[in-house]
A and B are shown apart, each in its own frame.
Chain A
Amino acid sequence: MKFTEEHEWLRIEDDLVVVGITEHASTQLGDIVFVELPDEGQTVSKDDEAAVIESVKAASDILAPIDGEIIEVNQAIIDEPSKINEDPLGVGWFFKIKPDDLSQMDDYMDERSYNKLIA
């Protein structure tokens, strides 16, 4: 699993990259009440605004961490945004990207470096 400075996580699953937000991010944001996800089939470039989440406090953008095509989005968090707070690394995933270039993952932190960042 890799982590971005924007507090997103990336996990390789088959030949796709699953993206979500970290426990730290979900705690900082507080209760999440709304999620807007990209369309399936949409092409994204690294650092594009791919999704929006709103907590009781404010709205935040979720950036596409790599170039690729959105293959699947998690309808469950649209229906029940609180799932992100409950299990941000599991059922609270956001979307799956078919990566153009998997080596873009190398730019990101491993768990140890990320834990240092948020310590």
Chain B
Amino acid sequence: MTDEHLRTSFYDLHLRQGAKMVHFAGYEMPVQYPLGVMKEHLHTRQKAGLFDVSHMGQLVLRGKSYEQVAAELETLIPMDVINLKEGRQRYGFLTNENGGIRDDIMFANRGDHIFLVVNAACVEADLAYLRKNISPEINVKHLKNRSLLALQGPMAERVLAEHYPAICDMTFMDVETIPLAGSECWVSRSGYTGEDGFEISVPETVAVDLANTLVMHDNVELIGLGARDSLRLEAGLCLYGHDIDVHTSPIEAGLSWAIQHRRKDHGGFPGADRILRDLANGQSQKRVGLQPVGKAPMREGSELFQTEGSLEKIGMITSGGFGPTVGAPVSMGYVSSEFAQPGTTIFGEVRGKRLPVKTAELPFTGPNFKR
């Protein structure tokens, strides 16, 4: 039954709301609702959008103490896990021996354990890898009885405050246990849109109740994967498997900010040789924003050249499309470092034609976080 796709708790809700469903990372997920990608995108930037992101993997790492689990996780990721304060979350990535990226993740200090959110397509590989490579004293559990919702946008705080006023005290990357829909939810102030917002891990038993309550709010609309992609692209955020993968070093991907000083100084994670060498010596290519000069979107796979006629490829677009908030096409990709200076005009090949595109700072919009 290879064509059997999993469904999240919200499957019936999606259909009832008129979603167009697609297959994504082994799940049947909503790509858009009747509002359409453009309006869903703009609504999220102006008000609040509700996303079903339950396809993502929710993992708990538990041992004798937080410190023990943190020290073990640090052998696999170049982040400072040990000094992460309780109730705080960080962005990170599992690296491989070549200094590439196995997966990008969010991890939180939950007091006596670590809570991880990983990409849907990587869940099984991550589980096997973690279990094999950290101490058997650490229990690695995949939580299959919790759903994940994201409420994103400038009105997200106000909407959740109607249910739990103290939500306003949380700042970007805080994580707390909060009662919503009469049940224990794990809420982080984070997201994948460049907007302020929250990600809510909710027990499956009350997940649909919570989603129904939130979606009834005048300022909330359900948002599909289509707008999720254009929102994160404008926000300059990487999509695993496209903008970063097992071959990309976090340095060329522009993610060195996610590696804390202690880890840069002492290494001790897979691929540290390449990653620390790239940090010290610079890298041959860089991830940059790319803004097409004309109106034609330049999508993933478009090759980049220095001039209209030059033969040598200088880079490649890894994500691209139309940015509804920018009101123009936007892309990101990798270019040889000598062309990475923002404002450099290069050429992207679209349907056999070379069209001008300017390198640009990322993000294209925002961020609008509550620090």
Contact = CB atoms under 8 A, between A and B. Distances in A.
Contacts of B38: 30-31, 33, 56
Contacts, number: 43
Interface string A49-63: 000101111110000
Which of B226, B322, B329, B351 is most buried by chain A, counting CB atoms within 10 A of its CB?
B322
How big is the A interface, by class? 10 to 19
A34 interface: yes
A59 B299 contact: yes
A72 interface: no
B351 A52 contact: yes
Contacts of B348: none
B353 to A, nearest CB: 9
Contact of A30 (B226, B297, B299): B226
A36 interface: yes
A34 B351 contact: no
Nearest to A52: B351
A55 to B, nearest CB: 8
Contact of B32 (A30, A33, A36): A30
A56 B42 CA distance: 13
Nearest to A61: B351
A59 B38 CA distance: 16
A56 B296 contact: no
B77 interface: no
A57 B329 contact: no
Nearest to B299: A59
B34 to A, nearest CB: 10
Interface of A: 30-31, 33-34, 36, 52, 54-59
Interface of B: 31-32, 36-39, 41, 226, 230, 295-297, 299, 321-322, 324, 329, 351
15 contacts: A30-B37, A30-B226, A31-B36, A34-B295, A34-B296, A34-B297, A36-B296, A54-B322, A56-B37, A56-B41, A56-B226, A56-B322, A57-B31, A57-B226, A57-B321
Q: Name the 7 nearest CB pairs between A and B, nearest first.
A: A31-B38, A33-B322, A56-B37, A34-B295, A56-B322, A54-B297, A34-B296
